[in-house]
Amino acid sequence: MSDTAVLDLDRPRRGDGPTIRARPLVRVENLAKFFPIQRGFFGRTSFLRAIDGVSLQIRRSETLGLVGESGCGKSTLGRTMLRLLEPTYGRIVFDGKELVPMKAGELRALRRRMQIVFQDPYGSLNPKMRVGTIVAEGLRIHKLVAGAAEERTRVAELLGRVGLPSDAAARYPHEFSAGQRQRIGIARALSTGPEFVVCDEPLSALDVSIQAQIINLFKDLQVDLGLAYLFISHDLRAVEYVSHRVAVMYLGKIVETAKTADLFERRHHPYTRALLSAAPSHLPGRRRLRIVLEGEAPSPLEPPSGCPFHPRCPRAEKGKCDKEMPPLEELVPGSGHEVACFFPET
């Protein structure tokens, strides 16, 4: 693909993804991850609430975009869903199987169906290993090839699928550009034949011209292989382009989720409105009114009572928003558009 590839938001979607009523492939319920933080040598232990009571689901062949400010818990959520981090409490269900009670052996057998593409395409690759060995690692761990000849053939197929020549297998990661290294990371994730892939900020270390190539690669792989993605990104334009649905996260909680077109046109949570106002419009001559929030996001070490957004919310009502946590629920039953707000924008 050319280095001048761009995101075309008018490019036809090959299917709008699964219906709202389709059975979810991945589901989390009331999921939380707290990190203990000791204050001072003899100080008391506090807990950083990275994710706090998150519930969401992703269906087969669907992309759920996950957006929010830095430090809101997006990457922690993705890694906890794969049990790369152990949850503090809550449920993780993959294809009807509960992950949290599983022992290491059971989880390893299931993990080949769940993979991750990391943010840093260089730091996530072992610089001392050749690309062929990196890509073949999952094949060996899960015993997916019978011998060296089959392994070489499979590695060559995987490299070709992500747009790299077969002779790349004999080279080291430092010999490739950032975009090529990210393709290596994607080939490694595909090696085990996954059904669900967490894409953890896969674009942030890449030049803009390369980002479009990688996004289009993700979309093509989804169509060809039926992959489900959790697509974590700060790039709202990329999320709008690649996702079937979008979830908005603030201070460890999901505050709104909806189909992509619905969310970008009719956002109801005050935080979502402010966040998406920063995204450039793809319509010629049309600009979005920028909404600037007052104050800083509270610390996850000392989250506010009630709604986590109430200290910065222009619609917050004292005695209500600062006392109670609004539930995440549909505004219109059956719409799939959920918002956690007592006074949503209408």
pLDDT, tens digit, 9 for 90 and up, residues 78-103: 999 999 999 999 999 999 999 999 99
The DSSP 8-state label assigned to residue 179 in this structure reads H
32 contacts 283 by C-beta, under 8 angstroms: no
Domain CATH number, residue 77: 3.40.50.300
* pTM to 2 decimal places: 0.90
| Structural domain for 210, as ranges | 24-113+194-339
Neighbours of 275 (CB within 10 A): 22
Q: Is residue 289 part of a domain?
A: yes
Domain stops at, among 173, 190, 207: 190
Strands 228-232 and 196-200: parallel
Q: Is residue 151 part of a domain?
A: yes
DSSP H stretches of helix in 247-338: 260-265, 270-276
Q: Is residue 230 part of a domain?
A: yes
Same domain (yes/no): 179, 52: no
Same domain (yes/no): 209, 288: yes
Q: Is residue 18 part of a domain?
A: no
pLDDT digits (tens, 9 = 90+) for 129-163: 999 999 999 999 999 999 999 999 999 999 999 99
Beta bridge partners of 56: 28
Same domain (yes/no): 335, 226: yes
Same domain (yes/no): 105, 49: yes
pLDDT digits (tens, 9 = 90+) for 9-39: 444 344 456 655 578 999 999 999 999 988 7
What's the burial of 261, exposed, middle or buried (CB within 10 Å: 0-12/13-18/19+)? middle
What is the total count of domains within the chain? 2
Same domain (yes/no): 181, 75: no
Same domain (yes/no): 144, 253: no
Q: Is residue 344 part of a domain?
A: no
Tokens of 287: 């600009």
**Residue 15: per-residue pLDDT:** 46
Query: How far, in Å, are 32, 75, 119, 132, 235 from residue 180 at the CA level?
Result: 35, 23, 13, 14, 20
Q: Is residue 157 part of a domain?
A: yes
Same domain (yes/no): 294, 205: yes
Same domain (yes/no): 218, 326: yes
Q: Is residue 15 part of a domain?
A: no
Same domain (yes/no): 248, 107: yes
Same domain (yes/no): 84, 165: no
Helices (H) and strands (E) in the chain, counts: 9, 12
* Sign of the dihedral defined by the CA atoms of residues 26, 7, 209, 284, in that order: negative
Alpha-carbon distance of 298 to 329, in angstroms, equals: 24
Of the candidates 10, 77, 80, the residue with the CA atom closest to the CA atom of residue 241:
10
pLDDT digits (tens, 9 = 90+) for 274-294: 998 876 655 445 555 667 677
Q: Residue 244: pLDDT above 50? A: yes
Same domain (yes/no): 173, 204: no
Domain stops at, among 169, 190, 211: 190
Q: Is residue 36 part of a domain?
A: yes
Domain stops at, among 140, 173, 190: 190
Same domain (yes/no): 170, 205: no
